[in-house]
Amino acid sequence: MACELVWSIAQGIGRAIDATLFDALGALPASEWPIAATNLDANYSTGRASAQGIPFDALRAIVGSNGYGAKADQGALFVDGIPAENSPDTAATWLGAWSRAAVVIDPDILIVVTRMDASGALEAVVWLSTQALVPNPSMFWRAS
């Protein structure tokens, strides 16, 4: 039982961290990444990353629940030719240098476990504080 509880908490904290970062990016003035209709458009978009000093291999995309711009090719997911992953924690599609952002977690995490009935059913509530750090928002774009 303890293993299932710890696993659920760890998964929930991971999703809370993702949601914190996506919420912070969404609150910033959005830089748009136009999804390429032609190779010329793709050159324009990747040029924006080059102007920020981001090597192409540092770019990654996160495809949210709207799936905007995602294309599968031979078992891999891409957005505008940039490797991508899915996330249920945002609706938008984001591109950026993810190593240039972080989420700080307060080391005090409160876990409240309540016994719900005589059969042993438990309810666990986890409280944690997180803060996204995006020192250079110009290294992140919302797909448009």
pLDDT tens-digit profile of 110-138? 999 899 999 988 898 999 999 999 999 99
pTM (2 decimals)? 0.84
The full set of domain ranges for the chain reads 2-143
Higher pLDDT, 33 or 109: 109
The predicted-structure confidence for 67-114, as pLDDT tens digits, reads as follows: 999 999 999 999 988 999 999 999 999 999 999 999 999 999 999 989
Nearest to 95 by CA among 65, 63, 117: 63
Higher pLDDT, 103 or 31: 103
SS (HEC) of the chain: CHHHHHHHHHHHHHHHHHHHHHHHHHHCCCCEECCCCCHHHHHHHHHHHHHCCCCHHHCEEEECCCCCCEEEECCEEEECCEEEEECCCCCCCEEECHHHCEEEECCCCEEEEEECCCCCCEEEEEECCEEEECCCHHHEEEEC
State whether the Cα torsion 29-133-44-39 is positive or negative: negative
Count how many residues are written for the chain: 144
The predicted-structure confidence for 37-62, as pLDDT tens digits, reads as follows: 655 455 557 788 888 899 989 999 99
The whole-angstrom distance between residue 113's C-alpha and the CA centroid of its chain comes to 28
Higher pLDDT, 37 or 16: 16
